[in-house]
Amino acid sequence: MRRPVGLAALALSGALLAAGCASDYVNTLKNNVKAQSQLMDAVVNEDTLSAKMIEKLLGNDATRQMIVDRMMLNDAAVQAMMQKASRDSMRVASFLEMAAQDSTLRGDLMAMVRNAVTEKK
């Protein structure tokens, strides 16, 4: 099921490239909602394309920050990241070290630890 969408997007890409140069292709994508949708569907539905696109976006400071900002607005994404990170003791230790270095977060962290200790008694 994933393959036809990818093939359709590749065909669209080929047709757009054949019709003009790469800058025309970019302009078409910017202005053509159907072309945008087909390309995004191809990326979403093809694991290889998804991985390449994610790596490309994460490889640039500005787009990496945009991804982080967008993910932080999505409760399901935040929950998934926290669950994934909580399974890695090194990441948890890194988060705690970062919190301890920040004066405001340090107080919050200490309060959480005190509450956890108090609850266990």
pLDDT exceeds cutoff 80 at 119:
no
- Region 39-67: what's the mean pLDDT? 93
60 φ, ψ (degrees, to nearest 5): -120, 130
- Token output for 101: 């270095």
**pLDDT above 90: percentage of residues in the chain:** 49
Q: What is the pLDDT of residues 60-92, one digit of tens each?
A: 999 999 999 999 999 999 999 999 999 999 999
For the stretch 4-30, pLDDT in tens is: 555 555 555 655 555 555 567 788 888
Q: By the 8 A CB rule, do 91 and 85 touch?
A: yes
Residue that has been written with the tokens 């025309």 in this structure: 24
Determine the pLDDT at residue 24.
78
CA-wise closest residue to 100 among 90, 112, 88: 112
